[in-house]
Amino acid sequence: MKAATIRRAYLREATAALFLARVALRLWPVRRIFSWIDRPLRKINRFAGDEVAWTAWAVGRAAQRSGLKTLCLPSALAMHAMLRRRGIGSRLCLGVTRDNRRLVAHAWIEVGSKAFMAEVENGPLQDLTTFGGAAHSLGGTP
């Protein structure tokens, strides 16, 4: 498959996942969403390094193109859902950092030892909690 075709497919899926994540956050209680994240995977795809990178790119791009101010939690939920669909275990992390005198919350995704969407301009993040206990890393090492 051509790279342009792959990009379009991932971008369409990311746009839909981002829309559904926004809707879910408005309609469902947060504990129900986080209990879905904590469910174990039905299938595990341990050799999917390229798919993680494509997914991260697509969610970031869809968030930029949406025209709406996309917060980090819907983006993290969308990426988690796309990875889960591919059998790739991930963790959704919530943390805080300081911006002058106030705390700023942030959500990001971890796959193995790599963090995605974890960059914030306010300084280092203090990890508060993690959902989804994906214990395996990429590359075939459980």
- Give residue 76's pLDDT band: very low, low, confident or very high (50, 70, 90): very high
What is the DSSP code string of the chain?
--HHHHHHHHHHHHHHHHHHHHHHHHHS-HHHHHHHHTSPPSS-----HHHHHHHHHHHHHHHHHTSS---HHHHHHHHHHHHHHTT---EEEEEEEEETTEEEEEEEEEETTEEES---TTS--EEEEEES-----TTS--
Q: Output the pTM of the full model.
A: 0.82
Smallest CA-to-CA distance from 54 within 8, 109, 18 is with: 8
Residue 133 has pLDDT above 80, yes or no: no
pLDDT at 142: 33
More confident residue, 135 or 8: 8
What is the domain partition of the chain in residue ranges? 3-131
Cβ atoms within 10 Å, residue 30: 10
